[in-house]
Amino acid sequence: MTIEGFLQQMGLKNIDQLYLDLTPAALYEHAIRRHEALLSQSGSLVFHTGQYRGRSPEDKFIVKDKITEGSVDWGKINKPFDPFAFSRLKEKLFLYLQNRDLFVQRCHVCADSHHRVNLWVLSEQPVYSLFARTLFRTEKKGEKKEPLLADYILIHAPGFRADPEVDHTHSGAFIIINFSEKLILIGGTGYAGEIKKSVFSLLNFLLPQKGVFPMHCSANLGSNAEDTAVFFGLSGTGKTTLSIDPTRRLIGDDEHGWDEKGIFNFEGGCYAKIIGISEEREPEIYRSALRFGTLLENVIIDPKTREIDFNDSSLTENTRAAFPIDYIPRSWPSQCAGHPKNIIMLCCDAFGLLPAVAKLTTDQAVSYFLLGYTSKIAGTETGIKTPTAVFSPCFGSPFLPLAPRVYARLFKEKIKKHKPDIWLVNTGWTGGEYGIGRRIPLEMTRQIVRSILDGKLAKAEFSKEQYFELLVPQSLEDIPLEILRPNLGWKDRESYGAKAQQLKELFLKMSSAESV
């Protein structure tokens, strides 16, 4: 059956022009010709997403039916959508797509072929076809060609807006996953991250059924396949920055699975936050952001000179670069590796209370995994005036269709069996909270991570600090003691103790909500 015939069988009829598996150069031409993007001076392609410049969690749904009714963790994050309403909305969307061009990319996800999911991404705009081709995986030249039949199909129409009163959506935008029909519908929003994260949600539903632990993490590799490190962390904690290390091989920057053989990347590209990026601080990401084939999302570009300003946040702080992972020097070609030797849980503690590094027991690791703690600071969101604690269970609750305890149970099984060293690394403040203390310098955090990965820190002497009962190294070369023991850096020690007790009580309160 032809592609056209398959789409007609689905109900997608009277498509004007169908463009199949176009290369980046061809997609550049279409995007520029249609005035949907600008070519930068360096060769990257700049596009703006309109009203939506970040994820829209209120507009995300899962169809509630026989497959999902008893397994999905329904609530504020996983909101149910009626199957009949889905069918009517799909029909309206398909009518909208008639007599329009359609750009199709036949991709797949999961570097381990045993877990491969073939994914077709259909979009009305070429920039999103390039995004899918960049972020997901495609057959490389010389690789064995796999069957290109779709396991799941994602249909993307940012120009189509739903009617909330009629279509039972929250707004004109919608992201709906239908596991029975193996179909994802995205409409009304041009933010490309919705494509990426809806597929991540899909894998977070499918893989645990096979005993595979899906992780919202970055990962890199040392000199051999057994020297694998995993970095968990929420946005702003340094997950991507710290995992891209010139002395190690990058496996992936955001999404991985862990099965009986080891870990593997879900994707084939990177989607890096780049506001304020510089060549001095993050050279690999900076250079990748300027290359031909890279998509720059909501980055400001001078329409005359075509020069890019990475420091301009007038559209959003959430500016992004999407580029193939092999743009990063020393990326690991197979994107598969052995079981983790080290697991690093990153947090950005703006209260200045947690040590820069601590070694976690198995029980502590599971607790911190379920907490998914970091903090927001003034200026990151409207209305934030003082540091605010943030908890995202499993370091990715917006993308988890199942209950957090399901993922925590898989995590506990993996670490008990394979016994990695597990670390808490604080990339936040020291010497006081935000506004009083200072942020731990990036180079100091890099030094701590290096000492973890080269095995030096595991050989250190540890003692338990009194507030959070964390095992903290008694000393570490080139790291001041007040960074390791944050209470020593506070001028008012009593105030530190009171604040630490408050945060500990908050941890206990949040921990009681979930257990394994």
Asked if 309 is an active-site residue, the reply is no
Catalytically annotated residue among 42, 71, 138, 235:
235
Catalytically annotated residue among 115, 133, 196, 239:
239
Asked if 216 is an active-site residue, the reply is yes
State phi, psi for 211 to the nearest 5 degrees.
Answer: 80, 15
CA 255 – CA 207 distance, rounded (Å): 13
Does residue 56 have a known ligand-binding role?
Answer: no
Catalytically annotated residue among 53, 108, 197, 499:
197
Does residue 359 have a known ligand-binding role?
Answer: no
State phi, psi for 78 to the nearest 5 degrees.
Answer: -100, 90
CA atoms within 13 A on the CB side of 447: 13
Does residue 123 have a known ligand-binding role?
Answer: no
Identity of residue 330: R
Asked if 151 is an active-site residue, the reply is no
- Cβ–Cβ under 8 Å, residues 120 and 102: no
- Cβ–Cβ under 8 Å, residues 175 and 55: no
Catalytically annotated residue among 30, 55, 60, 137:
55
Does residue 216 have a known ligand-binding role?
Answer: yes
Asked if 197 is an active-site residue, the reply is yes
Catalytically annotated residue among 320, 339, 376, 414:
320
Does residue 361 have a known ligand-binding role?
Answer: no
- Cβ–Cβ under 8 Å, residues 316 and 53: yes
CA 179 – CA 152 distance, rounded (Å): 9
Asked if 446 is an active-site residue, the reply is no
CB atoms within 10 A of CB 311: 11
Asked if 168 is an active-site residue, the reply is no
Does residue 407 have a known ligand-binding role?
Answer: no
Does residue 159 have a known ligand-binding role?
Answer: no
CA 278 – CA 439 distance, rounded (Å): 18
Angle between helices 126-135 and 193-206 (to 10 degrees): 40
Asked if 240 is an active-site residue, the reply is yes
CA 487 – CA 502 distance, rounded (Å): 14
- Using CA atoms in the order 134, 135, 136, 138, what is the torsion angle rounded to 10 degrees? 20
Identity of residue 492: D
Does residue 141 have a known ligand-binding role?
Answer: no
Catalytically annotated residue among 48, 216, 256, 376:
216
Does residue 197 have a known ligand-binding role?
Answer: yes
Does residue 238 have a known ligand-binding role?
Answer: yes
In sequence order, which ranges of 225-306 are alpha helices (DSSP H)?
A: 239-243, 283-289
Does residue 137 have a known ligand-binding role?
Answer: no
CA 44 – CA 285 distance, rounded (Å): 13
Asked if 376 is an active-site residue, the reply is no
CA 94 – CA 81 distance, rounded (Å): 19
Element (H, E) at 406: helix 404-418
Whose tokens are 């597990």? That residue is 422
Write 142-149 long-range contacts (CB < 8 A, 24+): 146/108, 146/113, 146/116, 146/118, 147/118, 148/106, 148/118, 149/118
Does residue 233 have a known ligand-binding role?
Answer: yes
The SS3 of residue 371 is helix
Does residue 320 have a known ligand-binding role?
Answer: yes
Q: Residues with catalytic annotation?
A: 55, 197, 216, 235, 239-240, 254, 320
Residue set of the binding site for substrate: 55, 191, 197, 320
Residue set of the binding site for ATP: 197, 216, 233-241, 282, 320, 439-440, 445
Residue set of the binding site: 55, 191, 197, 216, 233-241, 254, 282, 320, 439-440, 445
Residue set of the binding site for Mn(2+): 197, 216, 254
